[in-house]
Structure 1
């Protein structure tokens, strides 16, 4: 893995554990010489993961829509900052740049980004791992929902392996190095 896209909240959330987890991930990415690709903001968990990677000498690429950059929330100290016109372009650029995807705690936008790359993997648009850094058990309900989707036959069992749930960044990145994608979605 050379580049990992990280999706996360632009706020810190209700627990200090979320920020601490973002910082741990940023440091671990830098330690393993993996470039962070993220949404380009200086706010919340987005800023925390970027700052931590930069402080440890890592490379950080931000991708931000012009409307957000104009609100002066773009991070000014990144290795690279790509300004795009739309949120769709942002997601496409991040996916293009990344060898894998990690999700930290966040809201609706974070989940939307995760489900898009997860779906793209199912239909064969990429074969990159999708990981959930389950800080402070934030994503336990999502794990249960994925199991429920499988039980109710709306998600094929083989796709459970596409979403790697871990609580520690180093363990998650180790799982990424062993990732074998399942076959693409069978529509029958």
Structure 2
């Protein structure tokens, strides 16, 4: 993988271990020569991931909408900053630039980015690996919800299994290297005669 997009919070949250994991994620990417594609901010977990990658002389590409750039939250030291018009264009550009996706803890925006990209995978629009780093069980309630969606017949097990999960960046990267996309995406069926 040449580049990985990371979705995560624009806040640091209240758990110092999560902040440390964000920075470590960046350092591991930089050490392995994997470029970081992210939202372009200098604040929160986003800034920590970027700082970690930069501290290992890694490539960091930020993608930020104009309205956020005007608020001066963009990281001034990254390799490249791409400015787009909308949040949707941001995700499209991040998808275009990346070979895989990782979500760290965050809020609504992080979940929205993760679920849109995994929906694209379910529909066959994205064949790239998608995973979450799950420090201290942060995502356990969400994972239980996904399991309940399978149990209740709203989500197929093979679609649930597209979301890779690990507690360490090294473990998640290993899973991502071995990822095999679904052979037959949802909604794509034989033509009816």
TM-score of the two chains, using structure 2 as the length reference = 0.95
Confirm whether residue 36 of structure 1 aligns to residue 36 of structure 2: yes
Deviations 1:27-59 (A, max 9, x none): 111111110000000000000000010001111
Aligned to 1:157: 157
CA offset at residue 117 of structure 1? 0.3
SS of 2:161's partner is helix
1:168 counterpart residue number:
168
Other-structure match for 1:134? 134
Count of matched residue pairs? 188
Return the alpha-carbon distance in structure 1 between the equivalents of residues 188 and 24 of structure 2: 39
CA distance in 1, matches of 2:188, 2:148: 19
Q: Equivalent residues in 2 for 1:37-76 (5 A)?
A: 37-76=37-76
Q: Which residue of 1 aligns with 2:14?
A: 14
* 1:144–1:187 CA distance, 2 compared to 1 (3 A): farther
CA distance in 1, matches of 2:147, 2:88: 29
Superposed displacement of residue 159, structure 1: 1.2
The structural deviation recorded for 1:186 is 4.4
Q: Secondary structure at the match of 2:19?
A: helix
Q: What secondary structure does 1:181 align onto?
A: coil
Tell me the alpha carbon deviations over residues 50-98 of structure 1, each in whole angstroms, 9 at most, x when there is no partner.
0010001111000000111101100000111001111111111111111
The normalised TM-score by structure 1 is: 0.97
Structure 1: runs of 5 or more not aligned: none
Structure of greater Rg: 2
**2: CA distance, partners of 1:148 / 1:36:** 33
